[in-house]
């Protein structure tokens, strides 16, 4: 990457909120199958392939550079000591060399912080598994990436045929930031651009691009921050009408008596899942048919995401009943929503979220799914006006804020406040769309890709789903002090799918009449 690139406030927040008990990296377990009679060295072949493609995703060679005294957000700078052997490792599985063993080990490994002195990612290749399988555990800090930008990395790692495609060599780029004379010229051009059409709303909304020094000394940081504040003021002025419209819509919805029930349904009851978490994780993965889940969505008049919420709700409901801890009020789920526009592959976070009731107070699976469809529609309607505000609040920059936020995050983590405060949401459920065609890496066929996400204080359980081919790969991760063996929940998922299918199946007498 050329020059330094300062992190946005949203990206940087994942660094500030990180504590030893709450790592802020995301990952996955990819399961591959080697071809019959494979005689190569998959680990070395895979590492060589990634090394030849690093220029496709420059963030993989970027390390953090902190601002002096932490007065501003850190920047991404190219790591001039980058060594791929510090990022791709050969893992080792004990007997019986199966997926369950891999999942237990990954749960333990996912709790370990990434080294901030290096680019914030690691790959672990586990060879010698049963059925000629290979396991690839990857993790990358959330400050680098969200699910949408992950598609760009997928393009780097995977091919659509067993023979890896040829990737063009990177083009040479000038290193270092602009010269002072060049910066002055750019600043004058930008100043003239700003005042040439000062009352053009479309120009104001787009904003201007002022020059940056791209350096990390105190004077350069103060200069760059001043440029950022000017840019932000111009963009803010251009977006005021849209923001005022959003605020008025929110006020109207809150004051509407019809919306009060929707707001009340978003309140989360306290549960055994909403506790402070330890620095240990429990992980499990399980797959179900994508076609079957889509058929349920069609039958119910909902969407695939509603079915994912219903399956997650049913699993959590079964687990809480088994623990004698199901509350009378319905649990809620925090559901991330991507703000990324189609075609945008920037390696940063462009995400929003909503809170949705998941009807755990309803026993009948069919009635539960129908309630979730209704509630998710209301939640989207309630949260929609806020989406326009997110670009304005996601990149706020205040000098001195980073160190303050880090201190507050550490105090919150160590004070166990999440044990006594009402939970904002009970669980996290995220659905990430993936490729339908078969993918390969270094000649091996990709069978599954189970997401390994983030558990946080107060929301110990995260269920993230990745679609691939005709399957939905569920990844369950939890604070191990709250759910010691999250495999119990994963084992319930096929049962919950079967119960939901049975609820929508035609009754026997209707089948006999039809025949």
Q: Tens digits of per-residue pLDDT, 421-432?
A: 888 899 999 998
| 39-43, 313-317, 359-363: least confidently modelled range | 39-43
> For residue 342, is pLDDT > 50?
no
Give the pLDDT of residue 150.
Answer: 62
Over range 326-342, report the average pLDDT: 79
More confident: 67 or 514: 67
For 143, the 3-state DSSP assignment is coil
What sign does the CA torsion over 422, 424, 428, 429 have? Answer: positive
CA atoms of 411 and 431, how far apart (whole Å): 32
Question: The domain at 262-398+419-514 falls in which architecture?
Answer: 2-Layer Sandwich (3.30)
CB count within 10 Å of CB 264 equals: 10
| 16-20, 177-181, 268-272, 458-462: least confidently modelled range | 177-181
96 cis-preceded (ω within 30 degrees of 0): yes
- The DSSP symbol for 437 reads S
Given strand 440-441, what is the order of strands in its sheet? Answer: 88-91, 121-126, 133-141, 25-33, 444-452, 440-441
For 394, the 3-state DSSP assignment is coil
Give the pLDDT of residue 425.
Answer: 93
Over range 280-292, report the average pLDDT: 97
Report which secondary-structure segment, H or E, holds 335: strand 332-338
> For residue 74, is pLDDT > 70?
yes
Give the pLDDT of residue 193.
Answer: 46
> For residue 108, is pLDDT > 60?
yes
110 is catalytic: no
Q: What percent of the chain has pLDDT over 90?
A: 51
Residue with tokens 């936020």: 405
For 134, the 3-state DSSP assignment is strand
The one catalytic residue in 142, 384, 448, 485 is 142
Taking only the tens place, the pLDDT of each residue in 223-268 is 555 545 555 555 545 555 554 554 555 555 555 565 555 556 668 9
CA atoms of 509 and 398, how far apart (whole Å): 68
Residue with tokens 């105190």: 218
In this prediction the pTM is 0.79
Radius of gyration of the chain (CA): 25
Give the pLDDT of residue 173.
Answer: 59
What sign does the CA torsion over 388, 389, 394, 396 have? Answer: positive
Over range 352-369, report the average pLDDT: 91
> For residue 330, is pLDDT > 70?
yes
Report which secondary-structure segment, H or E, holds 449: strand 444-452
Give the pLDDT of residue 196.
Answer: 45
Tally: H helices and E strands in the chain:
15, 15
């Amino acid at each position: 990457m050329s020059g330094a690139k300062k992190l946005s406030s949203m990206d940087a927040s994942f660094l500030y909120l990180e504590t030893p008990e709450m790592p802020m990296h995301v990952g996955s377990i990819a399961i591959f199958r080697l071809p019959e009679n494979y005689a190569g060295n998959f680990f070395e072949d895979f590492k060589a392939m990634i090394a030849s493609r690093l220029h496709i995703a420059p963030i993989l060679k970027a390390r953090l550079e902190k601002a002096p005294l932490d007065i501003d957000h850190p920047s991404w700078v190219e790591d001039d000591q980058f060594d791929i052997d510090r990022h791709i490792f050969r893992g080792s599985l004990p007997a019986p060399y199966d997926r369950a063993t891999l999942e237990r080990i990954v749960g333990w490994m996912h709790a370990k912080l990434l080294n901030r002195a290096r680019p914030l990612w690691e790959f672990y290749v586990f060879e010698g598994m049963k059925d000629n399988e290979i396991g690839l555990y990857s993790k990358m800090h959330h400050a680098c990436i969200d699910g949408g930008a992950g598609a760009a990395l997928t393009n780097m790692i995977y091919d659509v045929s067993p023979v890896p495609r040829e990737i063009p060599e990177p083009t040479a780029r000038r290193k270092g930031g602009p010269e002072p004379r060049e910066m002055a010229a750019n600043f004058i051009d930008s100043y003239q651009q700003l005042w040439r059409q000062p009352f053009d709303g479309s120009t104001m909304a787009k904003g201007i691009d002022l020059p940056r020094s791209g350096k990390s000394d105190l004077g350069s940081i103060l200069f760059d921050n001043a440029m950022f504040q000017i840019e932000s003021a111009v963009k803010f002025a251009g977006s005021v009408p849209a923001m005022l419209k959003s605020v008025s819509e929110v006020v109207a919805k809150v004051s509407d008596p019809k919306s009060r029930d929707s707001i009340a349904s978003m309140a989360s009851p306290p549960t055994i899942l909403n506790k402070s978490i330890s620095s240990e994780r429990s992980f499990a993965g399980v797959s179900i048919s994508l076609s079957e889940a889509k058929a349920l969505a069609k039958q119910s008049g909902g969407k695939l995401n509603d079915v994912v919420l219903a399956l997650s709700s049913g699993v959590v409901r079964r687990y809480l009943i088994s623990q004698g801890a199901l509350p009378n009020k319905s649990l809620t789920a925090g559901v991330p929503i991507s703000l990324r526009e189609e075609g945008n592959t920037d390696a940063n976070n462009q995400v929003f979220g909503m809170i949705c009731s998941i009807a755990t107070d309803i026993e009948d699976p069919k009635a539960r799914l129908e309630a979730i469809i209704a509630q998710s529609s209301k939640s989207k309607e309630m949260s929609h006006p806020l989406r326009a505000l997110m670009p304005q609040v996601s990149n706020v920059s205040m000098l001195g804020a980073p160190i303050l936020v880090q201190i507050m995050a550490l105090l919150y983590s160590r004070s166990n406040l999440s044990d006594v405060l009402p939970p904002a949401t009970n669980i996290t459920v995220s659905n990430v769309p993936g490729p339908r065609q078969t993918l390969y890496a270094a000649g091996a066929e990709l069978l599954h890709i189970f997401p390994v996400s983030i558990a946080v204080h107060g929301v110990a359980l995260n269920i993230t789903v990745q679609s691939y081919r005709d399957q939905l790969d569920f990844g369950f991760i939890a604070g191990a002090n709250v759910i010691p063996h999250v495999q119990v929940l994963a084992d319930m998922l096929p049962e919950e799918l079967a119960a939901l299918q049975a609820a929508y199946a035609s009754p026997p007498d209707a089948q006999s009449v039809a025949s």
